[in-house]
Amino acid sequence: MIQVTKPFLPPLQEYQQYVEQIWKRQWLTNMGPLSSELEMRLKDYLKLDHLLFVSNGTTALQIALKVLDVKGEVITTPFSFVATTSAVVWEGCTPVFVDIDKNSLNIDPTKIEAAITPNTTAILATHVYGNPCDIDRIDHISKKYGLKVIYDAAHAFGVQYKGKSIFEFGDVSICSLHATKLYHSVEGGLIVTTDPELLKKSALMRNFGISGFGTYGDLGINGKNSELHAAMGLVNLLHIESILEKRKELAAAYHKNLKGLHVVYPVWNANSAPNYSYFPLILESEEFLLKVVSELDKHQIFTRRYFYPSLANSLPYLPAKQFTYTDDISKRVLCLPLYHELTKEEIHLIARIILRVQNN
């Protein structure tokens, strides 16, 4: 059986060493020493001045919306994971969808201005599969209209844009460190901003707004993460280079083995390089995709229609809306298995099955 993804698991002894430390200290959560160490090491690795380790990517999004005082309408993409949209609704705001660019699969910046109303306060854009949005144009629009920008960079761990961490862009960027992501702490998330005031406020919000004994500096929530999760993040960070290298090799093997397949790949931002967080194919038709999925299923090989369906016509709490490219591409996009332990032989097999469906 080949799953679409498998969490990276480091050697157990490496994790156990941290667990022993935790047992000795008896400090389990609430910004403990391992959480602080993880924040420090991540800042070092990502070359960032500020970041916060939080409970998950969704809470990170909610804190981002709150800390920027986002209200009213938020322009966002219908081609993302549900949390991108649900966080906006959860915070009492209205998502206003804009179609994606058919090449990058990110929000189409040329369509943003038409969606702005007097109630618009922010743009929430996803770097889909880690591929950076058209940051320069989004930046330009946000300045022109005085809008906040939040990037959902859940897929973009380790991605650089113009030589800087992708997390530095926008007012706030968030990342998810969920077990299914390329780099993970089982559950976890990051809030990144270059603004020290926003960081301070987000840190307060992460801990119920508590600013001291019996004093409250702001409205808050429980966005803290535990020492056990931080330990996983610390151990996995020791392996990040080999994780990234392996995924690059596996992606190259897919490209080589899938030669001859009628397929389109998302076009990567020219100012950046991929982190291979996913291996998406845009196939010729939904009919062909369904045949591929069913044939792979028969061989116990599992793929994921990611993202399908469009968030603009599948959420019971929002009115349905159609979009030319999102609707079309979400029906034809398929993510193939990609994880650290996947082998080139397995990729060879997966590719052979797919090509056989096409050539029959």
Interface with ligand PLP (CB under 6 A): 56-58, 80-81, 83-84, 126, 152, 154-155, 176, 178, 189
Of all residues in the shown chain, the one whose CB is closest to ligand PLP is 57
Nearer to ligand PLP, 53 or 323 (CB): 53
Taking the complex as a whole, the smallest distance from the CB of residue 357 to ligand PLP amounts, in Å, to: 28
Quick one: 96 or 258, whose CB is closer to ligand PLP?
Answer: 96
- Min dist CB 58 to ligand PLP, Å, is 3
Q: How far is the CB of 202 from ligand PLP (least distance, A)?
A: 16
Q: Is 15 helix (H, G, I), strand (E, B) or coil?
A: helix
Least distance from C-beta 177 to ligand PLP, angstroms? 7
Nearer to ligand PLP, 58 or 257 (CB): 58
Query: Closest approach of Cβ 335 to ligand PLP, in Å?
Result: 11
DSSP β-ladder status, 172-176 and 148-152 = parallel
For residue 324, the tally of other CB atoms under 10 A from its CB is 10
Residue length of the chain: 360
Q: Which is nearer to ligand PLP, 112 or 154 (CB)?
A: 154
* The token pair that represents 123 in the structure block: 């743009």
Residue 245, CA distances (Å) to 86, 88, 248, 259, 352 in order: 33, 35, 5, 22, 24
Q: Nearer Cβ to ligand PLP, position 170 or 189? A: 189
CB of 269 to ligand PLP, least distance (A): 16
Q: Give the H/E segment covering residue 263.
A: strand 263-264
In whole angstroms, give the CA distance from residue 97 to residue 115: 8
Q: Is the CB of 179 or the CB of 290 nearer to ligand PLP? A: 179
Q: Please tell me the distance from the alpha carbon of residue 352 to that of residue 350, in angstroms, as a whole number.
A: 6
Cβ contacts of 289 within 8 Å, gap of 6 or more = 283, 305, 331, 332, 334
